[in-house]
Structure 1
């Protein structure tokens, strides 16, 4: 059966975005309806629910994300000490100073997201240290990252009801870049939640190819990359529509 495509806009519940919408003289509901959209994809980057509910508008929820997390998961104190000079700095970033506390924060974040009764959750799959984001000299391979990311997700997957779709989003750092079909297949074979798919971010995918010069180049590259996924391209259940020519 063909699914109805829903068109959404990203929404962050923060003062800046709230004020921008209020300046239009409309409520959030009126703003979304005026754009001809079906709702919002709400960012929930916290461990407790919002004071007001977005359930009537939130079709999906984007979960919290730490660009650098592998050292915390592996309790690699040598790597952590390179980037965090104190326990307070470590806690500011992860909300805790140890792995089990971090996993508990992920669980709490999922619980806060589920309060909005979303159809789907978005989970980033990538790893990049604060140094690598500038140098692009990555220590870990895509396979290393997706293997660890699957293990992390499986540790907390029991928090997600079976009827809630989990969409794993691609980035241009090591992980689920979508440029290696074998990596994509290996990742989803490790995931224990049955109701899963891919949130394809077109701008993130374009960032994996710095040679792109025009939007047309980007479209061609995206289509070529998706086609190379073979049957696994059917896992694409959502699209973040962006253009990035870096």
Structure 2
């Protein structure tokens, strides 16, 4: 399961041994960790870490390119840019990502996950994109090669699909271009099932989602061999997008912190991270046979999270019985 690596997680699970017991009770090997912004507890047991989700900025390309005009449009001032990114130059971004790669290596992560996408707060509402998939993929490959360099990192580097512009896992040509552009030999794909569902607004049921995901896998043919990991959850949000996207809300906050708070809640309504309850999802799991499967489910607390994972595990098991 996905969890932030921080003191709050340790406290919520009653210590790392409590987290270990919770994983064992569900038959999980451990967690896919993510940095929460502070120090990772020094006593976190490495053997509980299956993988590591790298930190990310959803809106990074204009900062990386030093496009001052676009940055001023989005943020209003370079001081606000520095507030958001923690600095004023692209090296800020590079240093932040490299530090996170070192955290993953120090924890002996078997794989890391990286988002290949770019989306601003405004685009999250308007769905009128500033950059093309191709632009973002080319720039992301350049950044990834810069970050990884020629070092022999101890993990597989997996790119995760989004519904925002960039790598969506809907266009095989774009997928191939991204993979060919990354020089790192241990590269691969992490299929996020909910994100792929978000890419098709006509999906109205989980069964629709299964059919669409299988269709995208069919389209990708031999490229599917690169899929090493999976974030398993479902997201049916097309109706919400049709109602709430197309323009900024009339009452949208004027201040940047307020905008980001509003946008985060908006994204949660699109990217729902809910457990699968239709056993047809087993067809996706059996088709992909990922080396790593993370139950990436939203929940307000520990008990709700564990219940959601159990529900999804039961759904997968029922799917196996249905296919026999």
Normalising by structure 1, we get a TM-score of 0.89
| 2:65 is the alignment partner of 1:94 | no
Residue equivalent to 1:154: 145
Displacement after TM superposition at 1:72 (Å): 0.8
CA offsets, 1:118-138, max 9 Å, x none?
110100110001100111110
Listed as ranges, the gaps of 5+ residues in structure 1 are 1-8
Displacement after TM superposition at 1:96 (Å): 1.6
| 2:213 is the alignment partner of 1:222 | yes
**Higher helix proportion:** 2
Secondary structure in 2 matching 1:216: helix
Once residues 94 and 105 of structure 2 are traced to their aligned partners in structure 1, the CA distance between those partners, rounded to angstroms, is: 17
RMSD: 2.1
Listed as ranges, the gaps of 5+ residues in structure 2 are 238-324
Residue equivalent to 2:261: none
Specify whether residues 107 and 48 from structure 1 end up closer, same or farther in structure 2 by C-alpha distance, changes over 3 A only.
farther
Residue equivalent to 2:132: 141
Q: 1:127 aligns with which of 95, 98, 118?
A: 118
CA offsets, 1:11-30, max 9 Å, x none?
1134654444339xx71111
Specify whether residues 159 and 83 from structure 1 end up closer, same or farther in structure 2 by C-alpha distance, changes over 3 A only.
farther
CA offsets, 1:93-113, max 9 Å, x none?
222211122211211111122
Residue equivalent to 1:167: 158
Q: 1:169 touches 1:176 (CA, 8 Å); kept in 2? A: yes
| Count, aligned residues | 237
Specify whether residues 48 and 12 from structure 1 end up closer, same or farther in structure 2 by C-alpha distance, changes over 3 A only.
closer
Specify whether residues 52 and 95 from structure 1 end up closer, same or farther in structure 2 by C-alpha distance, changes over 3 A only.
farther
Once residues 233 and 127 of structure 1 are traced to their aligned partners in structure 2, the CA distance between those partners, rounded to angstroms, is: 23
| 2:20 is the alignment partner of 1:22 | no
Q: Greater CA radius of gyration, 1 or 2?
A: 2
| 2:70 is the alignment partner of 1:79 | yes
Secondary structure in 2 matching 1:11: strand
Q: 2:51 aligns with which of 54, 60, 67?
A: 60
- Bigger mean CA offset, 76-85 vs 154-163: 154-163
- Bigger mean CA offset, 161-170 vs 126-135: 161-170
Q: 1:46 touches 1:64 (CA, 8 Å); kept in 2? A: no
Residue equivalent to 1:5: none
Q: 2:5 touches 2:40 (CA, 8 Å); kept in 1? A: no
Secondary structure in 2 matching 1:131: helix
Residue equivalent to 2:236: 245
Once residues 205 and 160 of structure 1 are traced to their aligned partners in structure 2, the CA distance between those partners, rounded to angstroms, is: 32
Residue equivalent to 2:189: 198
Specify whether residues 189 and 47 from structure 1 end up closer, same or farther in structure 2 by C-alpha distance, changes over 3 A only.
farther
